[in-house]
């Protein structure tokens, strides 16, 4: 980071440490998380996980009293039941990524540190397993505008490989001052830098990889995301384009990178974009916020280079959602 950002970054880091040490804050965070995502009382339609009950009458700034939950780390695999345990743990990792993406893109309230020690495999009495969360010292809150921008960026890059369109969304993502984006020279330089970044961090399949290359009957080829290379490349762009990385951006990137790392440890072929892309398409098609940015992105996906509605592109968008999410195209539309 450039020196002018060092003081604010250090201040943010220190404030987060004190925030995590305040157990009254953690108790409130845990109760909020449970209200949204608990399998017993949560109101989310996408996420249902085990959240420990808090006993607020016994909690203070220095004391946190919560329900005891028996479980194992998702990285714990014994030799006696290795195959079964790996399959169970990998499924729970997929659930945790689904959960994280729903928190990131749908509700905007997100557990900021879902590492292996904070995610549990819980064995129920009937032998089934459930995903449990611990440690609620920090919850990230993602503005709706940013959620919409992330949705559009993922869809545009995977479906269109359009780095210039992604660059135009950096204002929505609240990562770069608007005056930088309003400068044609800087905007062009940003698009070129993102093109290089995506070349380094996205590995597309050889055939049928986006842009309709696979023909009308082919779904979009989902690239493999190299998370470490993406974060490294973006960090190098910080001083050049006056990036302002808010805490939730860093927390979200760390959360997804951590979960992907756990998943790849169990299954080297795991690709987080195969989960993230359908989430983005689903939110685009629903546009729950009524965002004009989302609407423009949908129009960009379904129109050809001359601005005319292209039925083959419409079918491809619906086919991507249907094939990847295992839903019929009719159900995707409705």
By annotation, the residues acting in catalysis are 113
CB 140 within 8 A of CB 112: yes
The DSSP letter of residue 38 is B
Q: Cite the beta strand spans of the chain per DSSP E.
A: 72-73, 109-111, 119-123, 129-133, 139-141, 202-203, 224-225
DSSP per residue over 213-265, as a string?
A: TT-TTSPPPPPEE-HHHHHHHHHHHTTTTT----HHHHHHHHHHHHHHHHHHH
Half-sphere exposure of 26 (CA within 13 A, CB side): 25
Handedness of CA 69, 75, 79, 80 (dihedral sign): positive
Q: Rounded to whole angstroms, how far apart are CA atoms 181 and 187?
A: 5
Q: Rounded to whole angstroms, how far apart are CA atoms 84 and 102?
A: 27
CB 173 within 8 A of CB 189: no
CB 78 within 8 A of CB 85: yes
* Structure tokens that stand for 47 in this block: 């996420």
For residue 64, give the 3-state DSSP assignment: coil
Instruction: Give per-residue burial for 145-166: e unless 16+ CB within 10 Å, then b.
Output: ebbbbbbbbbbbbbbbbbbebb
* Structure tokens that stand for 52 in this block: 């420990």
């Amino acid at each position: 980071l450039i020196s002018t950002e060092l003081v604010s970054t250090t201040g943010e880091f220190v404030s987060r440490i004190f925030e995590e040490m305040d157990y009254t804050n953690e108790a409130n965070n845990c109760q909020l998380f449970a209200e949204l995502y608990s399998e017993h009382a949560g109101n989310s339609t996408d996420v249902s996980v085990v959240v420990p009950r808090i006993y607020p009458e016994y909690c203070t700034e220095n004391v946190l009293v919560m329900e005891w939950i028996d479980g194992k780390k998702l990285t714990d695999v014994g030799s006696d039941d290795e195959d079964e345990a790996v399959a169970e743990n990998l499924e729970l990792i997929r659930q945790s990524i689904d959960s994280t993406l729903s928190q990131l893109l749908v509700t905007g309230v997100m557990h900021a540190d879902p590492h292996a020690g904070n995610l549990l495999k819980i064995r129920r009495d009937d032998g089934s397993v459930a995903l449990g969360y611990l440690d609620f010292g920090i919850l990230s809150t993602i503005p709706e505008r940013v959620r919409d921008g992330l949705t559009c960026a993922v869809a545009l890059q995977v479906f269109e490989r359009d780095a210039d369109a992604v660059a135009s969304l950096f204002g929505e993502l609240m990562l770069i001052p608007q005056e930088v984006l309003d400068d044609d020279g800087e905007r062009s330089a940003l698009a070129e830098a993102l093109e290089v970044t995506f070349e380094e961090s996205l590995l597309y399949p050889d055939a049928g990889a986006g842009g309709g290359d696979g023909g009308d009957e082919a779904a979009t080829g989902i690239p493999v995301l190299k998370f470490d290379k993406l974060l490294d490349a973006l960090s190098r762009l910080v001083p050049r384009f006056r990036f302002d990385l808010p805490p939730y951006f860093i927390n979200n990137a760390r959360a997804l990178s951590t979960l992907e790392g756990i998943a790849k440890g169990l299954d080297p072929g795991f690709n987080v974009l195969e989960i993230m892309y359908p989430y983005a398409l689903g939110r685009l098609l629903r546009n729950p916020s009524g965002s004009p940015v989302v609407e423009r992105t949908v129009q960009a996906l379904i129109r050809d280079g001359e601005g005319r509605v292209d039925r083959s592109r419409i079918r491809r968008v619906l086919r991507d959602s249907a094939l990847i999410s295992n839903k019929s195209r009719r159900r995707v539309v409705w």
